Every structure is written in structure tokens, then in C-alpha cells.
Amino acid sequence: MRKIIIGVMGPGEKATAKDLQNAYELGKLIAQQQWILLTGGRNVGVMDAASKGAKSTNGLVIGILPDDSQKGISLSVDIAIFTDMGNARNNINVLSSDLVIACGMGAGTASEIALALKANKQVILLSDDVESKVFFQKMSPNNIYVVDGVEKAIATAQTILK
Amino acid sequence: MRKIIIGVMGPGEKATAKDLQNAYELGKLIAQQQWILLTGGRNVGVMDAASKGAKSTNGLVIGILPDDSQKGISLSVDIAIFTDMGNARNNINVLSSDLVIACGMGAGTASEIALALKANKQVILLSDDVESKVFFQKMSPNNIYVVDGVEKAIATAQTILK
Amino acid sequence: MRKIIIGVMGPGEKATAKDLQNAYELGKLIAQQQWILLTGGRNVGVMDAASKGAKSTNGLVIGILPDDSQKGISLSVDIAIFTDMGNARNNINVLSSDLVIACGMGAGTASEIALALKANKQVILLSDDVESKVFFQKMSPNNIYVVDGVEKAIATAQTILK
Amino acid sequence: MRKIIIGVMGPGEKATAKDLQNAYELGKLIAQQQWILLTGGRNVGVMDAASKGAKSTNGLVIGILPDDSQKGISLSVDIAIFTDMGNARNNINVLSSDLVIACGMGAGTASEIALALKANKQVILLSDDVESKVFFQKMSPNNIYVVDGVEKAIATAQTILK
């Protein structure tokens, strides 16, 4: 039986303090649900914080890396997939996730949300960026779930996965 | 000397009549500038209309296709690049374009704009979708150019390329 | 601490009975070493047999799939990575493996061996195909290990990983 | 009407003097046939020499680059496609070529021949490497054409394309 994989996507270097806190909590709660966490694998921002959160409670973390280097990988990644395909790996991130939680906002995150919608995935949005919520909800009202906290994000994920 | 390549990105099946008209004119004007047109290569929507426009005035058209099939290719594509990598090819589209013109809006187009911004490309937005303009301009005010017609799009491209 | 990942690559539909038997044993022994098995993820040939072997002894199996479909996945895959990039995913297979064991021979397998050598990976060859051994050993004498059985393959892997 | 594209694949840094001479002649003859030349786009080895040959007689040259950098591109490339996907771009090289000519041998070249055979493409082999000819001919006798000079390579290409 395949395991459920939740992708947490968000800014790297430009993540806010709140994004990082949310990401850590998301990683922790995802692991507590016995779900696998999937991130972009780097040792910065939302990727790293979510991975740390999942490891804090013995979760399993998959990192889909943009390059082929042993440098710059989150120390909390258990399984590193080296794509060496830069941001084109964002498509693999979303295709491999049963659902996507976007935590924070930036160009890379926006590309992942858009690629997820293109692939007809469900996407949960957690950030203070009002314009992104308005934009993506209008684009795909049936696939976008706007939430205002990590617990709501996890509760929404549970409902979607039922 | 390498040739200048302008990427025109926009909806496929969901393009509006206005998107198609704009795309045809863009393709034509791009070819008249002696620029090469690059599109997603399929025989639908903005890709097809822009390619037809470029061919109407003997331009050169490159199509970066998502699959590896001889079916579904725009008849106006001169050079077909078969990626067989689905929407991950959107990253190749933007990386290979000297600048990107987004004509219309949809999930695939949004992914291309976001990937272009992530790669620090200049992006010209031409559509009636207000929310996308607000969202992307706030995200990257220095890389996004909102225009209200094809002539302005070409004039903006000329200014950027100078 | 990241886990060791061993890639087992080999023919799909064209695998021989001996390839399948070897692949099953390889998967089993890999899991018994507490290594993670990585394959191309499909439910045929060497990919499927190695995955079954690993699951027979509670190993963890990652499948790097060429498409984005829920069909055709080995039932023994625990973690499915959907690349939707066809045989270009072969490069991800080898980059993500600490070392590669080629079990049997075919065009896809040959591409994986060659891509592994290009990335300076160590590759263990297990097959009856004499010409492939001669060819690849001459190409990269320091990276190719020819073995004549699954136990020798695992012993060689242990030596390389030390 | 789409143009015929011939892919010339061969070693970069490790090309022999004979490989380079053959590649230059191949590029020249391909352009004289009004075919488009497709290469890996870098400014070394067979890629560069073939591109120079094609430009010497005003041919059109497409370079499918492994990275996203303006550095390291052959000055003879007219149209640069930036994949930023490393050697996974080898699959795009062969899928986008109507037929492949392998000029010389190495790990990257071997991966391209193998990926071409996997995609059921016709491949012309031109090199002094005996073992590669034996290996690939046995693997795909109906798709491999061994030739001993550039004129024969072009004559074979003409026959295949008829």
C-alpha cells in the first residue's frame, strides 16, 4: 500500500518568520498523521523548517532537489531525490504529492501552485498574501482552499483525503 | 550571432476569442521585427494563433512540445522540440526566451510567468485578467510590464531588448 | 542522517526469467542491508521483481515513474515519485542512487549505465550480455564492476560504500 | 512544413582530432542538404565542430543546452534552447532529431544512442570504437547503421529519410 505524501511548498531564502513557524508546525503535524512530507529539499526557508518539524516527531521526509550536489541539502531530509533540473523539478514536487500545502508566497511557490492546478491537484493556501489568494481562488475555485492556520490546514487535508 | 527569441505563452483550449486575436497579431509583429517566436507548440489556443501570425509574414517558429507525439503539433511550427516532459517543459519555454509575453491567463500561463520571474526574466502581461496583474506586479514590480494592446507589448519588448 | 539508496535498473517487458530471479534476490538482499531500493517504479520486469523482493523482507521501495498515471505502478512501491518526463527520468534514477546495479540489459538499461558513468557513479553489472560488459568496462574501467551473481553484487556494493 | 532535423552527438572535452574533423564535415554536409543541425550546444568537442561546419555553409544550428548560462555556448549556435536539466536533456536531443548521427564515443554519447534506440529512432554510428558498434548493433540491429566516413553517413541519412 502506497503511503500518503503531502507536499509543503514555500519560499526559500525569502521566507518570513511566520512562514518558518507555520512550516515547522505543518511538518510536525503531517508526521503525526503518519503522512510522508515532501519538500524541495534545500536547507533554507519553508523546505528546511517543515523538514525539521517532521523529524522532530520521527516523520519521513523526501526532498526533491533542484541540483545534483551534496551541498545545500536540508539535514532533515531522509530521502534525497536529485533531479538536476532546476525549477522544472517543481512539477515533480506537485505531481508526487497527494495534495499540496503552500506555506508563504513567492515566484517559486506560485509556479508550484499553478503547476498543481494544471495537474488538477488540491492546493491549500496558508499565507498573509491577499493577492495570491484572490488570484488563485478565482482561477480554480474547486481546487483552492484558503486557511488561516496550520491546524485548519491539516483538518482541510484530512477532509480532502477522505 | 544568436537570434532574439520571444516567448508567447497563453491558454490552450481555454483561450478567449480576444486572446486568439491578440496572439495572432503578436506573432505577426514579432516576425516583422525579425525575432524568432517560441511557443508551447501545440495546435490549439494562443500557441497556435501566435504561430499562424508569425507564419503569415514568413517568421520562424519554434515549438517546445510537452510530449513526443507527431499529433497535436501546430502546423505553423517550423522547428519542433520534443521534450516529453509535460508541463515541466514550461521552464524550458521561459529559459529559452529573451523575454516572455503572456497573452491571456490560465494555470499553465501562470506557471510560466512565475517560472520566468524565478529566473529573473522580463514578462509582459496582456490580458483582461485584473487579479493576475495585481498579483504578479506586486510579486516582481521590476520584471512585470502590464500592457493593454499588442502594439504596446511590442514597443515594450523593443525597449527591454535595447 | 540520510539513508543509503541502491538503484536497481533493468529491462521492463523484455526481462529474462533469470533477470527477474536476480532482481528479486537483489531487492531482498538490499532490504536486508537496511538500504533503500530505488527503481523505475513500473509493474513489469526487473523494476517490479526487485521491488517485490525488497517488500518480502519489509524493505522500503522508491519508484521513479516515467509518467503521471496511477496505472502501471508496481504494487510493491512504497513511495512513488511521478516525473512525467519519460525516459529523461533515467537520469534522476542514477543521480539519486548511491550506486547502481544493472540487472539484465536493454536500451533503457544501457542509457542508465551511461548516464551513471557520465555522473561518475559506480555501476555493478549483472547479466549474461557479454558485449555490454566489454563495452562499458573499456569506457570506464574504474567505475564498472562486473559480477556473476547477486551475492557478489551485494558484496561489491558493500565494498564500494565503505 | 516542418524542417528536417539531424542530431549530431559526440564527445565534448574528450573528442579526438578525427572526431572533430568528422563533426565539422558532417555539419557542413547536413547544412548543404538544407537540413537543420541539432547538437548539445556547448562550445567544445563534436557539438562545437559540427556547428562550425554547418555555419561555414550558412546552415541553421539548434543547440539544446544542459544549463541556463550564457557561458559555454558554441558561437555557431543560432537558436539556443536552455533546458537547465543537465544530461537529462540528452533525451530531448534525440526525441527532437529525425535521426541521430553519433560521431565518436563516450558516456554521454552512449546515453544518447541508448535513449534514441529506446525511442525507436534510427542511429548512424561513425567512430573507431569497435566495442560500441558490436554492442549497439546486437542490441538493435534494425536501428543501427555503422558507417566508416562522413559521406557514407550522409548517404545513409538520405536513404533513411526517403
How many beta-carbon contacts under 8 Å exist across A and D?
18
Q: Cα separations (Å) of B1 from B57, C112, D55, D59, D74? A: 22, 36, 11, 13, 10
CB contact under 8 A, D2 and B77: yes
Question: How far apart (Å, rounded) are the C-alpha atoms in residues A111 and A122?
Answer: 15
Confidence of residue A65 (pLDDT cuts 50, 70, 90): very high
Average pLDDT over residues A68-89: 97
Tell me the pLDDT tens digit for each residue of A2-43. Answer: 889 999 999 999 999 999 999 999 999 999 999 999 999 999
Higher pLDDT, B3 or D79: D79
The residues pairing with A61 across neighbouring beta strands, listed in sequence order, are A37
Digit-coded pLDDT (tens) for B38-52: 999 999 999 999 999
pLDDT value at C1 more than 90: no
Alpha-carbon distance of C80 to A130, in angstroms, equals 34
Residue spans of alpha helices (H) in chain A? 17-32, 45-56, 89-95, 107-118, 130-139, 150-161
Q: Is the pLDDT of residue B96 over 80?
A: yes
pLDDT confidence tier of residue B3, bands split at 50, 70 and 90: confident
D114 and C CB contact within 8 Å: yes
Residues from chain A contacting residue D85 (CB–CB below 8 Å):
83-86, 88
Query: What per-residue confidence (pLDDT) applies to D135?
Result: 98
Q: Does domain A5-161 have CATH number 3.40.50.1860?
A: no
Cα of C68 to nearest chain A Cα, Å: 7
pLDDT(A51) > 90: yes
Mean pLDDT, rounded, of chain A = 97
Is the pLDDT assigned to residue A1 strictly greater than 80?
A: no
Q: What are the boundaries of each domain within chain C?
A: 5-161
pLDDT for position C89: 98
Mean pLDDT of C68-93: 97
Q: In chain D, whose CA is at the least distance from the CA of B7?
A: D81
Which chain D residues have a beta carbon less than 8 Å from that of B92?
Answer: 81-85
Partner-chain contact C115 D105, CB within 8 Å: no
pLDDT digits (tens, 9 = 90+) for A87-107: 999 999 999 999 999 999 999
pLDDT band at C33 (very low <50, low <70, confident <90, very high): very high
Whether residue D87 and residue C119 make contact (CB cut-off 8 A), yes or no, is: yes
For residue C3, what pLDDT is reported? 87
Measured in whole angstroms, the distance separating CA C155 from the mean position of its chain's CA atoms is 16
Chains that touch D (3 or more CB pairs under 8 A): A, B, C
* Nearest Cα to Cα of residue A115 among A136, A84, A85: A136
pLDDT in tens, A115-144: 999 999 999 999 999 999 999 999 999 999
Cα B20 to the center of its chain, rounded Å: 12
Please give the distance of CA B19 from its chain centroid, rounded to a whole number: 11
C119: contact with A, CB 8 A cutoff = yes
What is the least distance, in Å, from the CA of D92 to any CA of chain A?
Answer: 13
Kindly indicate whether the ipTM for this predicted assembly is greater than 0.90, answering yes or no: yes
* Predicted local confidence at residue D3, as pLDDT: 87
| 3-state SS, one letter per residue, for chain B | CCCCEEEEECCCCCCCHHHHHHHHHHHHHHHHCCCEEEECCECCHHHHHHHHHHHHCCCCEEEEECCCCCCCECCCCCEEEECCCHHHHHHHHHHCCCEEEEECCCHHHHHHHHHHHHCCCCEEEECCCHHHHHHHHHHCCCCEEECCCHHHHHHHHHHHHC
CA angle, A118 then A123 then A124, to 5°: 160
Which residues in chain C are closer than 8 Å to A119, comparing Cβ atoms?
68
Give the Å distances, CA to CA, from A128 to A25, A27, A132, D64. 17, 19, 9, 40
D142: closest CA of chain B, how far (Å): 21
| Cα–Cα distance measured from residue D8 to residue D2, given in angstroms and rounded to the nearest whole number | 19
- Indicate yes or no: CB of B86 within 8 angstroms of CB of C87: no
- Which residues in chain A have Cβ-Cβ distances shorter than 8 Å to B138? 131
